């Protein structure tokens, strides 16, 4: 199983009128669009009305060597808030430099017109290939139960005070 | 962009002692494990303490023709609760039959020992390849804002009464 290769095709693409720099510097993302290719358009039926969606993107601007990254600092937070962050494993972070270069984002779904999704909180660059979309709902995750480790709580407490 | 192929490799694999049948019939998933391959073990650093993680799996038991599915009924809910569900687009559902056969799950993280994650709410069969993991946190999604469309709210109200 370990050595299988999994071959995926984009179902759509990000249309983002903000520069990469602007996307990088926005902690909670920007407004933008996701264009779903005609072949997959029927898959969008009944998505209108969900306020949030989980979107899987592929960090196409990263390089082969970025797949080898296993530990990172939370650079965006360091840059925006001028705080030091601990070095953590990539699976404890949202860093796009990670073994499969996948981006997993929970986005606010503002509207759907034809095969274009209008979204907020977008943290993907223009032309990022989109691999999958599904609704984000809370049935399975009662809010009061969500816990985070001490390093993470401390970090976000520091940020809140800024 | 549309015609690029994205080649991914598993970072780990599901170890599930429940039968496929048991997994299929559990609405909120089962307890099981995710084994992370040694090459990627360092990526797990600092994940302990998050109560929930987002996990991307690949539905390896599905077939080439399942990638063509764009509309589905919510079969699991129909089977378990004996209610009729509307036909919806795959991107409005959690169906594993979808263009890239990706499974996106928010799992409860019970414990981590070495490179094994002990999880609950697991809705993936034994030996499912795992492509990515990241913490699930609530900073970006205030709970009161999560909205769902009428068809979905109605369906879950019916289920609640059962």
Query: Minimal Cα–Cα distance from A160 to chain B, Å?
Result: 11
> Mean per-residue pLDDT for B97-109?
97
Distances (CA, A) of A156 to A123, A147, A160: 19, 13, 6
Q: Provide ipTM, 2 decimals.
A: 0.95
Measured CA to CA, the distance from residue A53 to residue B25 in angstroms comes to 25
Query: pTM for this structure?
Result: 0.95
Query: Minimal Cα–Cα distance from A24 to chain B, Å?
Result: 16
Strand residues in chain B grouped as ranges (E) = 6-8, 12-15, 30-36, 52-58, 71-72, 88-89, 102-113, 116-122, 129-135
At residue A156 the predicted structure's pLDDT band, cuts being 50, 70 and 90, is confident
pLDDT in tens, B18-69: 999 999 988 889 999 999 999 999 999 999 999 999 999 999 999 999 999 9
Q: Among A9, A86, A91, select the one facing B100 at the smallest CB separation.
A: A9
CB A107 within 8 A of CB A135: no
Helix (H, G, I), strand (E, B), or coil: what is residue A150? helix
Q: Which residues are CB-neighbours of B27 under 8 A, at least 6 positions away? A: B76, B77, B80
Residue A13: beta bridge partners? A35, A129
Q: Is B94 exposed, middle or buried (0-12, 13-18, 19+ CB in 10 A)?
A: middle
Please judge whether B102 and A28 are an interchain contact, meaning their C-beta atoms are less than 8 angstroms apart. Answer: no
Q: Residue A150: count other Cβ atoms within 10 Å of its Cβ.
A: 9
Q: Among A127, A135, A140, select the one facing B1 at the smallest CB separation.
A: A127
Q: Is the pLDDT of residue A161 over 80?
A: no
Distances (CA, A) of B25 to B21, B81, B82, B90: 6, 11, 13, 20
CB A39 within 8 A of CB B142: no
- CATH code of domain A12-160: 2.40.30.70
Q: Which of B41, B23, B38 is nearest to A92 (CA)?
A: B41
Q: What is the pLDDT of residue A77?
A: 85
At residue B110 the predicted structure's pLDDT band, cuts being 50, 70 and 90, is very high
Tally A–B CB contacts below 8 A.
236
Helix (H, G, I), strand (E, B), or coil: what is residue B75? helix
């Amino acid at each position: 199983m370990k050595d299988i290769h999994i071959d995926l095709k984009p179902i759509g693409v990000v249309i983002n009128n903000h520069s990469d720099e602007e996307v990088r510097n926005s902690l909670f993302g920007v407004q933008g669009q996701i264009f779903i290719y005609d072949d997959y358009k029927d898959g969008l039926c009944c998505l209108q009305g969900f306020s949030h969606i989980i979107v899987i993107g592929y960090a196409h601007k990263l390089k082969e060597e970025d797949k080898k990254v296993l530990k990172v600092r939370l650079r965006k937070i360091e840059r925006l808030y001028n705080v030091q962050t601990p070095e953590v494993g990539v699976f404890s972070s949202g860093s796009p430099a990670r073994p499969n270069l996948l981006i997993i984002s929970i986005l606010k779904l503002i509207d759907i017109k034809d095969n274009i999704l209008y979204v907020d909180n977008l943290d993907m660059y223009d032309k990022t290939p989109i691999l999958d979309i599904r609704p984000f709902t809370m049935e399975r995750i009662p809010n009061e139960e969500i816990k985070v480790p001490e390093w993470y709580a401390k970090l976000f407490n520091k940020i809140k005070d800024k």
